[in-house]
């Protein structure tokens, strides 16, 4: 894996050895398996699933699954809709993170300094300080498969698959670094999923057991952020990138946006007002 692809500023190659951008296919897919799906565990189940996530028997009674089996069965059910296999060894990480959600364990926010608010175009300017992030770059057949596969690997790292052998705790947002073609109309297949380590692990980051996950120290960066609600899929991301570009132009910020952007996710898909953001990192203002 090319570790440079994990940088917040979108460094690294796009589209493989020939340097070209390859679009993820199946852009009509409308959902991703993410942390948000853990919180909306009871949403969007087919008729052969009850609200616990377990397959129902012929009589309509719920089969006797333990809780981790129920959660895993639900994830596998959702995964099939996106051509993503959820392996058996995901049962424990899914259970751990669901417990985190159910107990309302407070999630640590990635700290930043607010620099300016452009109210007219709803764009925030912030400074994020240097921090250690766990990240993985994926390049699967489809965009959805890359995001799902990357997030599952990050989940394992958070849930004891690290040198401390402990649950590290969640931080928000979970971010995805994406790149587009020059017209910003197509996403590259290669994407990076990243998780900022909690403050207690910043000085001595745990070592991932998975060799595909790298710990990167991302430098201080100035970010232009625009909030949006709704699902985060390939179509909506491209729409939000275009809206951010239009907002930046309207505000007269004279920024060269380039082709690298960050999608930040904060809240559950089940929430009435879902909190997502699209970020542009200003390399010229570190």
> pLDDT digit string (tens) for 185-233?
999 989 999 999 999 999 999 999 999 999 999 999 999 999 998 877 8
At the second CATH level, the architecture of 3-282 is Alpha-Beta Barrel (3.20)
pLDDT band at residue 29 using 50, 70 and 90 as cut-offs? very low
pLDDT for the residue numbered 162: 93
Distance CA 79, CA 162 (A): 25
Which two structure tokens, joined as six digits, stand for 265?
Answer: 């996710």
Q: Which of 34-48, 70-84, 227-241 has the lowest mean pLDDT?
A: 34-48
Distance CA 44, CA 56 (A): 16
pLDDT for the residue numbered 105: 54
pLDDT for the residue numbered 136: 96
Q: Is 241 helix (H, G, I), strand (E, B) or coil?
A: helix
Across 74-83, 134-143, 144-153, 202-211, the highest mean pLDDT is recorded for 202-211
Count of CA atoms in the C-beta half-sphere (13 A) of 218:
28
């Amino acid at each position: 894996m090319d570790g440079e692809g994990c940088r917040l500023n979108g460094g690294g190659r796009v589209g493989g050895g020939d340097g070209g951008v390859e679009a993820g296919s199946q852009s009509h897919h409308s959902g991703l398996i993410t942390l948000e799906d853990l919180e909306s565990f009871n949403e969007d189940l087919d008729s052969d699933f009850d609200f616990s996530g377990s397959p129902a028997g012929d009589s309509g009674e719920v089969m006797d699954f333990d809780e981790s089996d129920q959660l895993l069965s639900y994830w596998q059910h959702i995964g099939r809709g996106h051509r993503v296999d959820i392996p058996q060894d995901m049962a424990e990480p899914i259970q751990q993170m669901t417990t985190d959600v159910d107990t309302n364990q407070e999630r640590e926010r990635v700290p930043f300094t607010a620099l300016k608010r452009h109210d007219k175009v709803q764009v925030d300017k912030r400074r994020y300080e240097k921090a250690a992030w766990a990240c993985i770059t994926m390049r699967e057949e489809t965009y959805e498969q890359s995001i799902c596969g990357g997030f599952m690997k990050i989940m394992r790292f958070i849930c004891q698959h690290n040198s401390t052998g402990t649950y590290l705790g969640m931080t928000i947002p979970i971010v995805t670094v994406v790149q587009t073609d020059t017209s910003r109309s197509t996403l590259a297949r290669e994407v990076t999923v990243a998780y900022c380590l909690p403050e207690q692990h910043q000085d001595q980051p745990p070592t991932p057991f998975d060799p595909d996950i790298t710990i990167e120290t991302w430098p201080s960066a100035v970010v232009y952020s625009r909030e949006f609600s709704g699902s985060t899929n390939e179509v909506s991301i491209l729409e939000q990138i275009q809206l951010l570009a239009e907002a930046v132009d309207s505000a007269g910020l004279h920024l060269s946006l380039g082709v690298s952007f960050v999608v930040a996710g904060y809240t559950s898909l089940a929430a009435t007002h879902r909190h997502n953001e699209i970020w542009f990192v200003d390399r010229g203002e570190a």
